[in-house]
Amino acid sequence: MSAVVKAGVALAVLVAVLSLALAFAGLHRNNPIAAQFAFLIPAILLSIGCVFWGLKMTAADNNYLKQLVNAVLIGLVAGALIFAFSMLLLTVLMPDYLDDVKQSTVAWLEDSNLPDEQLERQIRSVEGTTAVSQALGGFIGTFLTTLIAGAIIAIFLRKK
């Protein structure tokens, strides 16, 4: 297996484990905003770490542009697997999870001091969330994070 695929698969597995841990912990029921940060921050750090690891394994043979392509490929591999896992999690493993998140987020929004028009807009947005939109968000977030991290890391980890 190539270094790029290894890094992409490793990232996807780590994010899947993080997703399961947080879903089973139930933080989303008490504080949906804290739950988002509890996922996003570690997921971003895992992305950076896996991109660093993947690019370190390919640095001796690749210039900056090839390293950037490697980072893109890591993001595509990881993103596709994360999309698939998210769909599995939200539709098969825990089909009520998304409804729980929606309910707790709406309750949190209703307790906030937002103006009525903004509150209604936010609630409509939350209620329109689907498993596909959540999984697609994971794919896009993974891809963009690996692209940005790769663009920076490749400056330092490349054939000179």
Return the ∠ at Cα 11 (arms to 9 and 12), rounded to 5°: 65
Q: What is the mean pLDDT of the chain?
A: 90
- Across residues 5-30, what is the average pLDDT? 91
CA 6, 8, 9, 15 torsion-angle sign = positive
Query: What does the CA dihedral 101, 105, 106, 108 come to, rounded to 10 degrees?
Result: 140
> Quick check: 111 pLDDT over 80?
no
pLDDT at 149: 98
State yes or no: pLDDT of 152 exceeds 90.
yes
pLDDT at site 107: 78
Q: pLDDT exceeding 70 applies to what percent of the chain?
A: 99
Helix 131-156 to helix 64-88 angle, to the nearest 10 degrees? 160
Maximum distance among all alpha carbons in the chain?
58
